[in-house]
Structures are given as C-alpha cells and as structure tokens.
Structure 1
Amino acid sequence: MYPDHRPRRLRTTPAMRRLVAETTTTPRNLVLPMFVAEGLSDPRPIAAMPGVVQHTQDTLVRAAHDAVAAGVGGLMLFGVPERRDATGSGADDPDGVLNRALAALRSEFGDDTVIMADTCLDEFTDHGHCGVLSRDANGRERIDNDLTVQRYVDMALAQAEAGAHVVSPSGMMDGQVGAIRSALDAANFRHTSVLAYSAKYASALYGPFREAVGSTLVGDRKTYQQDPANAREALRETRLDLAEGADMVMVKPAMLYLDVLREVAAEATVPVAAYQVSGEYAMISAAAANGWIDRDAMILESFTAIRRAGADIVLTYWAAEAAAILR
C-alpha cells in the first residue's frame, strides 16, 4: 500500500534541493548587454525595457563597475551614434561611439572582465539594415552579402584595436566568421575571440531593442535572419561557423527557441551562448508590474530553463541585478 520509490525525499529541504540540483546558474554564466549613445548628458531610459538605459560614456563605466563587482562574466556593448549613413561608416571609426566606449572599458578593466562588441551595422546605417544595400539584376534592392562581410571585417578590426576581447558578428551573412577570423589573424589579433550569432532568428521579440538603438529600419530582416519555422537550418549554420573558426556560438532569442538551443548545444564543440532578448525582458517586466508573476522568481527560473537547455552563457539585461541575487 506504500510506494517503493520516494523521489520526494530529495526535495525535503532547501539544502537538499541545492545539493541535488542538476542545473545551476552563477554570476559568471551571465553577460550584460549595454547601450552607449552619443549626444547624451544623462542616461536615457528605454520605455519598453524598464530599468535599462542608453548610457553616456561616463555612466557606462560606472554601471560596468557595478556589474563586474557583482561577478558577471562579461559585458556586451552596443553603440548608438548620432549620425548614420548608407554603409555605416561610424562602425569602424576609431572615434565612433562604440569604439571609444570599448577603449574606455578596456582601459578601466584590462583583463578583469570579458569585453564583447556587437559586430553589426544596423545601429550605424541610415536604412537600419544589418548590411550594405545594392540592387540585383532585376533592380531589386537587397543586402549585398559580400560587401557587408567586408564591412564586418573592418568593424571587427576596429573593435579589436579598441580593446574588445570578443567580436560578435550578428548579421547572419554567409562567410562572416571565416572572413573575420582570417582578418584578425592577419592583423596579429590572434587572441581576439569570435562569438558567432549562429542561429539568429527573424523574431517578433526584438521590438524593444529597436527603441534601445533608435533603429531606422523599415521592413524586416527575413532575407538574412533565420525563419522561426526552421530548426535543422540552425544546425547547418552552426556547423559552418564552427568550420570557419568560431570560438563560441549563439542562439537568439533564447526562451522561445529552447529546442534549437538544445540541438545546437549537442552539436557544438565550443561554448554555447543564448541571448534573452529585449522582448523576453519586456514580457516578464510587464507581467511582474501587473502583479501577475513573482518577478525575481521568474527571472531566475528563466535562467534555469536556458541553462538546462544547454547554454553555457546567458546574455540578459538582468545580469548585474541577478548576479547580486545569486551571490
């Protein structure tokens, strides 16, 4: 009349649950994405992402100190320029907002944290796309893959020169990882790592991010970001990036793509990252603000789900706050 097996014995106390937990998240697993903008005298709040701001150069460094002190594993930097043009010329300008910020962080922290740079043109182009536009044989305007890859190479070299430990090509152009790796090696940046956005989907979850970077995009990015309907394609992209020399690979978004994350983690021979994107942040924040969920519990549970699916690294706007809780 009694069960022979009682799994509940391993759930009896908090200490017991900690002891037998199969998945854990520590501050070192978290990376904090940060925005730095030109022309600001004070941080500018991002309405769709409560608690996240566009930083000035000064407040960026102060916020980075808080994050590093909390034990986060790294910082991912995005630049928001005042002026944009068709080719995103500010992206590889040593005096551009992103490269100046990278240099400031490297000067401040040296090798005490991992400084990552978003290697993409969308924040810097006046059309808001992640690459250079050209017209095909039928006169249709398209993203020119190969011209864009050359711009990514220029951008990666500028970021490495500024002090980035990691460059992160996120535009989903064919051949981007191999071209960047070859250029970095040729320029004696052999120790600069490449984090490949191997499976970046054309998701509806990026809306708040576009406010965060002041995006000028009209239309969508479905001709270069992955179709949410496809999973095997993510494995093909991952294999190509690994063959081209990626040091880490990423799945983006995280929470709606845990099945993809699981498959990529099983395939990858390098660390796997997952990006908990702006829409995921906004949904949890909005539900918590309405009293529908326990905010802190939901944040930590979301990390557990992402880590359980196979992520070694979680990019999240809660990184600094959550690191303090986890410690």
Structure 2
Amino acid sequence: MNDMGESNLSFVLSKPYDVKFEEKSKPTLTSPHDVILAINYTGICGSDVHYWAEGRIGPYVVENPMVLGHESAGTVVEVGAAVKTLKLGDRVALEPGYPCRRCTACLAGHYNLCLDMHFAATPPFDGTLAGFYASPEDFCYKLPDHVTLQEGALLEPLAVAVHITKQAEVKPGQNVVVMGAGPVGLLCCAVAKAYGATKIISVDIQPSRLEFAATFAATHTWIPAKVSGEENGANLVKELGLGEGADAVIDVSGAEPSIQASLHVVKRGGVYVQGGMGKPDITFPIMALCTKEVTAKGSFRYSSGDYALALELVASGKVDVKRLITDTVKFEDAEAAFKSVKEGKGIKVLIAGPNEK
C-alpha cells in the first residue's frame, strides 16, 4: 500500500475565494485498468488561480464544491487487476484528463478535443490537490529513476508547450517568436530550442521575466512599447533582424495587443499559433492574416504523444524544468501559495501532498 500516510485531505473551492481543507473519502478502483496514486506534488496553474478568483473559465462554472489542482506527480499505491505497466511504488507523472476513447476526435488521435473529457479541476470533476487520486493506467507516465517527482509535476505545463510547438511546426534553423514569458511561454522557448530553432525571441512587458528567459532558452528578448500592434510588430522584426518576419509566432499571453502584433511579426506563409486564452472576442488584423497567407491555429491542452515527448525532453536533459520551480510549500499553505501566484510572484510554485513529509 502506502507508507506516506492515509489522509485524503483535499483543497476544495466552493465559490470565488472560498476554499477550505476537507478530509474526503479515499478514491477506490472503479476499473481494473485504473491505479490509485498518492499525490506527492502539484503545481499551481493559471487556470487553477482563475477558478479560485473567478469561479469559472468560459463555459466551465464551479456550481458545486470542487477540488482544485491538475499539475501533479504521485506514487502508485493501488493497482487494478488488469494493470500491466505499473506496480506499487512506481513514481509517475499524471496526465490529468482522460477522454471517452470512442468518438471521432479520439479515434483520430485528437483526444484533447473529446467532448466527454474528464479533466481534473474542470467542473464538474475534482482535481488533484488531495492525498489520493484515481487514474487510468495509460494516463500515468512512469518516471525514470533520475527524474524527480517535482520535475514530474511540471510535465503538465511542458506537455502544453510541446503541443503548442507541434502546432507551430517548428523546424531546425527557423526563427520563432513567443509572446508571453510565463511558465508555458518559457517552456515553448525551451521546446523550440530542442526542435532546433536558431533564433528564439521571448516577448513580455515584465523585464524580470525576460531576464530569466534569456538565461533559460531564449536567444533574444524584447519589450513592446505602448504603440499599435502594427508598429510593435514592425519594430520587433527590424530590431531583431528577422528579415521578412518570423517563421512561427506563438502567443501564450492571450492579450489583445500581443495578438495584434503577432500577425505583423509572422512572415508571409508562416505559422501563427494561439496558445493563450484571453477575452472571448478581440480586434484581429485580418488583412495581415490574409495577404500574408498565414496559417493560423489554435492549441488546446495536449494530445497523443505530447506527454511522452515531454518526459523524454526532461529525461534527456534537453529541457530543465527544475529551474522554473520558485518554491515548494506544505499542503496547509496552499491558499497562501495561490495568493502569491495571483500576485505574480515567482514562476512555478509546487504544493506538497498532505501525506508528503
């Protein structure tokens, strides 16, 4: 079983800014293909903070108490009778959403688009900020001995970055611009570097973030001015020597000025990917999109092969996710950690599970 303790203390959100610690029943195996994990570490994501502060994200509304958290790694403490690839004591990174496996999207390998997705901490499903969590075996990724559980918790945002970078079709020798230097933006830079991009430009309005980006994976950084998106785009291209523009531009900020500038940065025939969510509707430079025949794509979570590639990038040392960890706090300090993240302090904060000593 488990030598960490048996508490299933959970961090539960009832409505905006109304959270409490609640001892819930330990999950049980409902399928022979499932495992039970003791959660060791959970990262705080921007979506977790959004639910905590707003009680909703778009159409997903917290109507009943919900356990927060989805960026987790844990230890296998129970296995179903049909489980073949995991055993008691295995340390795993948890992919926190599983699909129906039967719809057209799933069968095409795009299970992130499944309409029947069970995703942790997305209403009505509980998240992973708890002592224990049940998961299908095939959505748990065994960590090599040299990869820590803290690194395992960061595979979730890295998998997001892997999917975005795949959507951008980044190739060796290309120039890539990443708008936004939060955790996912930084990781997009790192994945682009692993893919062989030559010039990787990180763009943000916060100098401290760009200082870190320059030491992490970006080859260049740039701070936009308070001018039009077209002027910012032209200035970026000129000042960073991008010629006709960048081969790929990724926006993970979700900010309207950033998105507007992006379409003026990408070159003719280039690729633009929207990875960050912002306002439902914005003013968009459609003329630039059309006349340059830009390929524009959305990006949502991760899909087939993304988590496995994220683990390979960490295990091989190509992406050092440890550097993003600003702090690790005790479970009872979870609310204070959420406040800190909302205030923009640090890069990535991890919360140790209630049984972690």
Q: TM-score, normalised by structure 1?
A: 0.31
The structure with the greater share of residues assigned to helix is 1
The structure with the greater share of residues assigned to strand is 2
